[in-house]
Amino acid sequence: MAQLLQLHARVLTDPLPPSILDPNLAAVKLISACSALAKPQHATLVFSTLPNPNLFACNALLQALALHRLFSHVRHYFILLLRSQTLIPDEFTFTSVIKACAGLAVFSDGEQCHGLVTKRGFDSNLFVRNSLVDMYFKFGLPNVARLLFDEMTVRDIVSWNTLVAGYCSCGDVRAARGVFDQMEEKNFVSWSTMIAGYARSGDLVVARELFDGMPERNVVCWNAMIAGYSQNEKFSEAIELFRQMLRFGGVAPNDVSLVSVLSACAHLGALDLGRWIDGFIKRRAMELSLFVGNALSDMYAKCGCIADARQVFDRMRERDVISWSILISGLAMHGHADGAISAFNEMLEHEVKPNDITFMGVLSACTHAGLVDKGLEFFHLMKDKFAIVPKVEHYGCVVDLLSRAGRLDEAENLISSMEVTPNVIVWGALLGGCRIYKDIARGERVVSHILELDPDHSGSYVYLANVYASLGRLDDAASCRLKMRDNQVVKTPGCSWIEVNNRVYEFFMGDRYHPESDRIYAFIRELGMKMKLAGYVPDTSLVSQNIDEEEKENVLSLHSEKLAVAFGIISTEEGAMIRVVKNLRVCNDCHVAMKFISKIVSREIVLRDRSRFHHFKEGKCSCKDYW
């Protein structure tokens, strides 16, 4: 861009005579170059300096604006073109304008544009008709789109691909497959669109069958399948396919590939692969684009490396509100409330307007640190200064903030005054406070609200069963378990992931599928004896089954995070950090146990549960037992 600005300056300060170089020709070249460098605002500036823009310059600007999804600007300049009465729009004009109408989803504008196309005689133009078919699909009118397609006397591969993509976007994968099977000629776009369509509908089996059946693949096709796995939470499969792409694909990953696999790494805590991707970007001297930078920063934050996340953030040339929100949320997850609040203030100094996700990050920072008054201050700031209407998630965060601090009356009053209907998450936050402060009467009342909203909410049954068990009311606890069984309510199984030697391993409670399970269980027994000698007392009150104490202790020792940690210790060199990701909130017993284990084996253990990070070191946790 710096070189382009120098050329632009030269054209302005030492212009060639119009007889040699038409200003419009120079403008078209400059606008196209600005568009290629993702600088549509500068393209607009170039256009504005033209005393008499011709149709070529207008079309170049409209195309640049449409390419960068500045659809309202396309509409504005098209209206100016029509008002000029000296320029007559052609098929290239209408292609950009139709795309803008589709992007704005304004049916009346699209209909008027279609009328103008017909009036000007471009209705049968191949490019214009393809754009119209796409527009009507985006308006949610597949029948009109199909009618326009069927009326076409000439079709190209783009026409067929537009029809396939349109049906996929409407969720009609069967119709898309019917068109796909009719196609005499298919290109990479056809295959990748169909694969993405099946993946979006959740049918990964058929998507993979299509992918495996391709005669040849390019990076777009690999990306479609990798993204399909990632978007359907098949993160291990996404990572494995990415590795295959590197080994056998014969194509180099691009930004889209990296963003998809970094998302999978973030969910599984696959730090080694994430670091390899960071190194890959540096080795290839790739520019750290906004999207890859955000994904990389998010990966480091969710893998427990908040300092690395900040370094990536600082490396990025361009940052948006998502970049700041990732940093703030990452600091919050790690319990760095002061850092999150400082980053929020820094963001405001850079004149970046926060959004609802930013406020979720800063509110959760206050929740994890117990900064009740500060959290309430941010909650009111969001509404009063930035006019952001709180969503149910924001209310849930504030209810959690109050509940953790023992201000249960205020939390319940806030739920009663909510402007949106409270959901299970909001009531669940209050239930968490009832659990901490043993407010059984309120807890039973909250459970009734939750079960009204979600009769299959396993957490409510488990809460009551555990409360009754802790009070010695074993018959009532058993009754809760029976209700769960009779209502076919299934508790979400605890699952933990750990990455060892560039491979991610998955553990469930009592898991014996791992080939090293005998060694893992032997080590857990050995570790359990050392922990008891150090003063660890298993919290058997968490086990509601009517079994003896020894069996309860055995159940606790087989929680998924303990299995993962044990495997990590026996599989890595002495002193290496252990990183584990869990899908549920860590239980009290495991939290206490991890502190003992970190001291006994002299290891730092980083555990990410569904709400935050716990850094266990030398018998202490970074959360300071406030979680």
Residue written as token pair 């509409």? 75
User: Which residue is it, tokens 């284990």?
Assistant: 597
* Residue 582 falls inside a structural domain: yes
Give the type of residue at 352: V
183: left (phi over 0), alpha (psi -120 to 50) or beta: beta
Residue 57 lies in a domain: no
Q: Is residue 167 part of a domain?
A: no
Q: 496 is written with which tokens?
A: 């933990």
Output the CA torsion sign for 402, 403, 406, 409.
positive
Residue 532 within a domain:
yes
Positive or negative, the CA dihedral 337, 341, 344, 350 is negative
Q: Rounded to an integer, what distance in angstroms lies between the CA atom of residue 157 and that of residue 188?
A: 11
Token pair in block for residue 422: 């409270």
In this prediction, residue 616 has a pLDDT band, given cuts at 50, 70 and 90, of very high
pLDDT above 60: residue 544: no
Domain count, the chain: 1
Which tokens is 104 given?
């704005």
- Whose tokens are 């903030």? That residue is 401
Closest CA to 319 of 332, 308, 310: 310
Can you tell me the distance from the alpha carbon of 33 to that of 83, in angstroms, rounded to the nearest whole number?
A: 27
Mean pLDDT of the chain: 91
63 in a structural domain: no
Handedness of CA 620, 621, 626, 627 (dihedral sign): negative
Give φ, ψ of 99 to 5 degrees.
-60, -40
E strands present in 452-526:
495-500, 503-508
Q: What stretches of 213-270 show up as alpha helix (H) in DSSP?
A: 219-231, 235-248, 255-268
Give the pLDDT of residue 468: 78
Cβ atoms 423, 393 nearer than 8 A: no
Give just the sign of the alpha carbon dihedral 401, 403, 405, 411: positive
> What is the per-residue pLDDT across 574-593, written as a single tens digit (0 to 9) for each?
999 999 999 998 988 999 99
User: Edge-to-edge strand order for the sheet containing 613-617?
Assistant: 503-508, 495-500, 578-582, 605-608, 613-617, 620-621
> 505 has which bridge partners?
498
Q: Dump pLDDT digits (tens) for 405-460.
A: 999 999 999 999 998 999 998 998 999 898 888 888 898 889 889 888 888 888 78
Mean pLDDT along residues 268-274: 91
Structure token pair of residue 126 = 């191949």
Q: Which residue has the higher pLDDT, 535 or 7?
A: 535
- CA–CA separation, 464 vs 476, rounded Å? 9
**Given this model, what pLDDT does residue 285 score?**
83
**190 found inside a domain:** no
Give pLDDT, residue 546.
Answer: 61
Q: Is the pLDDT score of 117 beyond 90? A: yes
Please enumerate in sequence order all residues whose Cβ is within 8 A of that of 178, keeping only pairs 6 or more positions apart, or say none.
Answer: none
Kindly report the number of other CB atoms within 10 A of residue 108's CB atom.
8
Q: How far apart are the first and last CA of the chain?
A: 48
pLDDT for position 465: 80
Closest CA to 496 of 377, 400, 606, 339: 606
Residue 38 backbone dihedrals phi, psi, to 5 degrees: 60, 40
Residue 19 resides in a domain: no
CA distances from 57 to 49, 171, 182 (A): 11, 38, 40
Residues forming a β-bridge with 493: none
In a domain, 255, yes or no: no
Enter the DSSP assignment of 354. P
Whether residue 551 is predicted with pLDDT greater than 90 in this model: the reply is: no
Distance CA 552, CA 540 (A): 6
Provide the pLDDT for residue 569. 97
Residue 283, Cβ neighbours under 10 Å: how many? 9
Predicted structure pTM score: 0.81
**pLDDT reported for residue 545:** 64
> Which domain, by its residues, includes 581?
495-621
290 close to 320: Cβ distance less than 8 angstroms: yes
What digits encode the pLDDT tens for the residues 68-108?
Answer: 999 999 999 999 999 988 899 999 999 999 999 999 998 99
Residue 612 in 3-state DSSP?
A: coil
Q: What is the pLDDT of residue 20?
A: 62
Closest CA to 437 of 413, 461, 462, 402: 402
DSSP 81-102: HHHHSS----HHHHHHHHHHHH
Q: Half-sphere exposure (CA, 13 Å, Cβ side) for 413?
A: 5
Q: Is 304 within 8 Å of 271 (Cβ atoms)?
A: yes
